A and B are shown apart, each in its own frame.
Chain A
Amino acid sequence: MHIYYLCLLFTALFSPWLSAAENTTFSRLDKVAHADALRVCIWPDYYSITYRNPKTQQLSGIDIDMANALGKDLGVAVHFIDSSFATLIDDITQDHCDIAMFAVGITLARKTKLRFSQPNLISGVFGITTKSNRRITQWSDIDKPDSVVAVAKGTLHEAVMKEKLKSAQLLILNTPFAREQEVQSGRADVFMTDFPYSQQFLTKSDWARRVSPPNNYPKTPYAYAMQPGDDDWHNRIEKFVRDIKKDGRLLTSAKRHHLEAIIVP
């Protein structure tokens, strides 16, 4: 037990140096094996993907399962590192974690900074409004002059909404659960999220109502993000993704979290 904490301490203190020092020589695969731990970045507000229940502090979600699976495949412990889409690129590039496993949408901007595995999920955009909202009953009601649309900072929705919205006011929020509060209090009409989040959110919030986009609305594939380079690591992760798709672990977990509709086979 002591040795374990010492190792942790060591890792925390020397890993940036180590990583920098051995960046060219060692694959992250080796580093993970050497550290005997896998650091996984997650967004703990992400329902169904990587959600930490505030009442129990337990993590749950499909990528928690997959992270653990990966740790198991690699034969190492898994350490979850809190992250968010606003801090994702930094957290990866600055080596706060070996991999981001919280349904990271593959966007053009991110691909310039990050290396993605093959996607394992794919989701469109969904709006959440209150049940009592009389103005927004369908997707087309959203982009109106009086409307206020809330998005979380750094998410792919921010970029999407910036691109799509013409008339409505976009409200970019960067505090946890700010989107929900704005919508609930009536200061915003709708906030944008994806399938996994909306699904879980609707089950928890009796006031919320989902507004679905038309079928031809663009969808975004989700994958695991890593530092660019390091083909060994990437290959190993790719292998892992193939494995979980092939051996059904992905599907099993997806079913548990009601996500089987959006997995990428």
Chain B
Amino acid sequence: MNQHTRQLRKIFAFALLLFISGMLTITAYSLWRLRAETVTSMLEMSAMHSRSFESFITQNMRLVELTTFNVANMDSRNKNYFNIERFFVANLRNNPAQRSISLLDEQGRIIVSSNRANEGIIVNTDEYLPVQTQTQTKSILRIGRPWAGRDFISGRPTTHQTPINAVQSNFIPVIHTLSFGQRKVTLLTAFNPDYFINHISQILKTEEGVVDIVRYDGTLLLSTDLTELAGSLDPYNEPDLNLNSLETGQFLQKNHNGRSVFTSFRTSQLYPFIVFTRIDRQHAMQNWKTEAKILIGVIIATLIALTLLVNAFYRRQVQLEAERIESEKLQRINATVFGSSADSIIITDIYANIISVNPAFCEITGYTAEEAIGQNPRFLASGKQDENFYKAMWASLRSQGFWCGEIINRCKNGHLYDAHTTISAFRDTEGHLQHFIGVSTDITERKKSDVRLRQAASVFLNSQEGIMVTDAHNLIVDINPAFSHITGYDYQDVIGKNPGILSSGKQSAEFYTEMKASLEAHGSWQGEIWNRKKSGEIFAERLSIDVVSKADGEIDQHVAVFSDISRIKAHETELDRIAHYDALTGIPNRRLLGDRLNHTIARAKRSGKSLAVCYLDLDSFKPVNDQYGHATGDLLLIEVTQRLLKILREEDTIARLGGDEFVILFSELGKPEEIDRLLDRVLTAISMPVLIENHSLHVSASIGVTLFPADTADADTLLRHADQAMYQAKEAGKNRYHLFDPGLDREVQARRTKLKHINVALNKDEFVLYYQPKVDLLTGEVIGAEALIRWQHPEQGLLPPAAFLGLIDGHDLEIEIGEWVIESVLKQIAVWNTLGLTFPVSANLSANHLLQVDFADRLQLMLERHPAVKHEDLELEILETSTLNDIDQAAGILTQCRNMGVRFSLDDFGTGYSSLTYFQRLPVDTLKIDQSFVRDMLEDPNDLDIVESIVRLTQTFNKSVIAEGVETLEHGAMLIKLGCSHAQGYGIARPMPAGKLPAWVEQWRHDEPWLTINIPTEDSKNISLIIAMQNHIKWLDNFVTLLESSSDTPLSNKTSHQCQFGRWYHSSGFARYGTLQEFKDIAPLHDAVHALSDELMVLANDGHRAIACRRLPELYALKDLLLTQIQSLIKALE
């Protein structure tokens, strides 16, 4: 019971109590009033009866007086007793109150009576009241005590002690005396009390009340109460009535039965009797009681009814309240359902205008409630349903008040969705249509899901893979056609059975235990398994088992999908063989070797013994192939393999890497010396002649060996090390083995480290460019500068290019650094241009860099980044020694770049193998003569010839030429003489930081050093011959000096071809003067000089230095002959 209900109950209880109290109070008051009124009215009625009865009786008695008067008159006229008697009878005829009338004589004897039987009877009237007194009244009526009996003749007078008996007839004697002087007429009348009783009883029923007529002395004359006996003393005995003063009165008293009575009394106006009317109180109040009962009954009934009504009303209110709460609750629930339902709900009025939608509607359709309300739901129509669809829908709604179906609607964003919709007509209790309620479930997903299910079913049916579904007890519940196809078991064969019927017995119990564990742990298992078909055939299958769990995590089903992989297995085996074994020889190939090597390394680590990795390459195998064909080569390889297999131990491995390369792993070597013995056997076995197709073939092997764990490396590295060692064995002369030197390898590692450092240096901007000016020695003009890279190493100081450029050859860094140089040069040109220095600046370009496919584009970008720089001011120097693998590509790139305006030069010209080819094919502007030629040209006639040739070459092809390595002005002078005025070198200026260059230019121009150059006057044509001759003289002097010195240093000497003169003579000298006889005659002399010098040297080295010194004059003589011959050549040339 809630607060509200308790309060309601209090209010109802209080109101009811108040009302009942009021009603009861009013009722009680009314009853009290009514009772009082009843009492009053009863007393009044009692008094009224008394008056009425008194009057009635008195009047009847008065008739006696009239009769007496008549009799007195008759008597006076004629004393005729017969007439009197007839008079009496006639008188009685209409007067039932009187029973008999008698005339008395003076003695009280009846002398005439209406009843003749009475005559003669003497009646004693002494005790009649009022008492007879002396003072006679003219007329007096006296009442006697009642008599028992019908008449005087048959009756007797009563006393208080002897009243009449209950059933006896009785009468009241009344005597009336008329006095006329002395004469008296006395009539005795017997009054019939029954007449009065009947009269009174007619008016006042005995049960209502009784009337007593009492003589003044208390004698009861008559009573309507049949239990009271006339003649007795009035049982009420009301002695306190003061009858002389009090004529009437009323009071409440108890009768002799103890009942309360309302008593009123009234004395007769004329005669000595009193009328008592006693209304029975109980009876009198009966009406009041009845009314009171009725009233109380009605009131109580009313109150009970009211209470019941109120109670019912209260209960109704409580019920209504409960219903209201329930209804509110229901409404809240409805509202919650409405609000939280995942289904879209639309409520419309009877005209199908939307009046309410729920949030799910908004969510599904994208329309807000405000947009939807007031609309007809057809605004969602997709147009996919035709007119008939909606007609049918409305027909169903009209006839059944209900429609249910699927409908395609359109969201606000235009997307269509499938909805399962139920529309109900909502009617009020009277059946009037009020609303339509539409509930839609978005079943787009369900439909998709259906499609997916169909797809899944299709997959199940059409899958080429066998599918088997088992239940939680692992009994088969479903299979697909592919299952039957693969295993041969049809549906009826396997349903309800354990998949163990497929078991082939090839898998161990552990296998299945593991499978089960995987299923329990991961809910799935994949693997390959051997199973048995119905036919008994065993096949391999790839099996995937997944556990399908219920929501509570319990296993519901297992789904096993498998495919027959017998063929794949066979194929795999074949592939594995192909993959791991050499097709030709059947021994492991490189891949399997890798595995074996790893295993062997692991084993070696465990055993602590050594492992030898031997890289074997056949020597002279290619000629066999070339000479006898590949078939023969292959047979040779097979034979070699067979031989090797014979001498290998069981724990060893041999593999063919391809071609004529083999690797042998010798494991479990106790001592390193063991390997020598083993390898000797290998070399011996291979070097034995092989007889193939009547050819006796002879091959040998070069073997590189590395020992693990002495060479602590991984498998790949060990192989590489062995390979390196094999090359060294080859280099060392083949048919031998070479042990890998780990120390050497460390150098390679060091190079790698340096590359890293270079990369870091580039990123840290540790490289700087130094510039070396190029000048025209004739005019003194600064014609350019070459940028030369330096590494400002933080620890080692400034490093020259040779310290690092060699390392990056062929490396990506080469490109990066190359670009950095070009970029820096362009920046520098711009800077110098602002200072008024406007000469081309060159940067060195590696061949690799040049051959980058996008080189021209990237150069273009760099130039564009420096728009202030004239393209002609950038010159790129291609190192002539660089290997330009694709000369056509290089030419193309150069052409592209030259079209931009950039100029090119071939650097170090003359040092490469293909100088002329390059010169011919590459569109360069300038050749740079390598400094080695320039530096030595003053001493070495060969170099001089080369320099001269190059200069001439440039003149021929109309290119510029510049000489590097000009260390002195003498060099400069020689160059000018040879026709090359452009020069670069220490003799002019050392490379310097960019900042110092402007000052240097200033200084150079100021000092004008080029003016001091003395150009040689000799004929430039024979300069090389003269120099050659001078060289020979110098060499001989040196030899003599050494021979004569006393040191024990062994002497070495060059052959005649090897000395400078000899080289010149056989190369450029022969080229120039070979046709001249004078030149030809020099050679024997020169050879003789060398022969003698060799002889002397041998003597000296054999400890006969003194003897050798003594033969020096022979040498001097030969020298003079040679010089003479040269002079004759010079003369011939002139």
Contacts and interface: CB of A to CB of B under 8 A. Distances in A.
Interface of A: 130-135, 146, 148, 175, 178, 181, 184-187, 189, 206-207
A135 B171 CA distance: 15
Interface string B142-161: 00000000110010000000
Interface in B87-117: 92-100, 115
18 contacts: A131-B198, A132-B197, A132-B201, A134-B166, A134-B167, A134-B226, A146-B150, A146-B154, A181-B92, A185-B98, A185-B192, A186-B169, A186-B171, A186-B194, A187-B115, A187-B151, A207-B198, A207-B202
Contact of B169 (A131, A135, A181, A206): A135
Contacts of A132: 194, 197-198, 201
Interface in B57-97: 92-97
B226 A186 contact: no
B150 A148 contact: yes
A224 B77 CA distance: 52
Contacts of A130: 194, 198
Given A207-B198, A207-B202, A186 B167 contact: no
Interface residues of B, number: 27
Interface pairs A-B: 9 shortest CB-CB: A184-B96, A207-B198, A132-B194, A185-B96, A186-B192, A132-B197, A134-B167, A135-B167, A132-B198
Interface of B: 92-100, 115, 150-151, 154, 166-169, 171, 192, 194-195, 197-199, 201-202, 226
Secondary structure at chain A's binding surface: helix, strand, loop or mixed?
Answer: loop
Nearest to B199: A207
B521 to A, nearest CB: 118
A185 B195 contact: yes
Given A178-B93, A185-B99, A186-B194, 7 more contacts: A130-B198, A132-B194, A134-B166, A146-B154, A185-B92, A186-B150, A186-B192
A133 B194 contact: yes
Contacts of B199: 207
B195 A186 contact: yes
A181 B93 contact: yes
A186 B197 CA distance: 12
Contacts of A186: 96, 99, 150, 169, 171, 192, 194-195
Contact of A187 (B97, B99, B167, B202): B99
B141 to A, nearest CB: 20
Nearest to A189: B169
A180 to B, nearest CB: 9
Nearest to A209: B198
B57 to A, nearest CB: 15
B100 to A, nearest CB: 8
Contacts of A146: 150, 154, 169
B172 to A, nearest CB: 11
Contacts of B197: 132
Contacts of B100: 187
A144 to B, nearest CB: 10
Contacts of A135: 167-169
Contacts of A184: 96, 195
A181 B95 CA distance: 8
B195 A131 contact: no
B279 to A, nearest CB: 20
Nearest to A177: B93
Contacts of B97: 185
A206 B202 CA distance: 7
A132 B196 CA distance: 9
Contacts of B171: 186
B195 to A, nearest CB: 7
A184 B95 CA distance: 9
Contacts of B92: 181, 185
Contacts of A206: 198, 202
A156 B1063 CA distance: 216
Contacts of B195: 184-186, 207
A186 B151 CA distance: 9
A146 B150 CA distance: 9
A187 B155 CA distance: 13
Contacts of B94: 181
Contacts of B150: 146, 148, 186-187
Contacts of B99: 185-187
A149 to B, nearest CB: 13
A184 B96 CA distance: 6
B91 to A, nearest CB: 11
A206 B200 CA distance: 11
Nearest to A136: B167
Contacts of A207: 195, 198-199, 202
Given A148-B150, A186-B99, A186-B195, A131 B93 contact: no
Contacts of A185: 92, 95-99, 192, 195
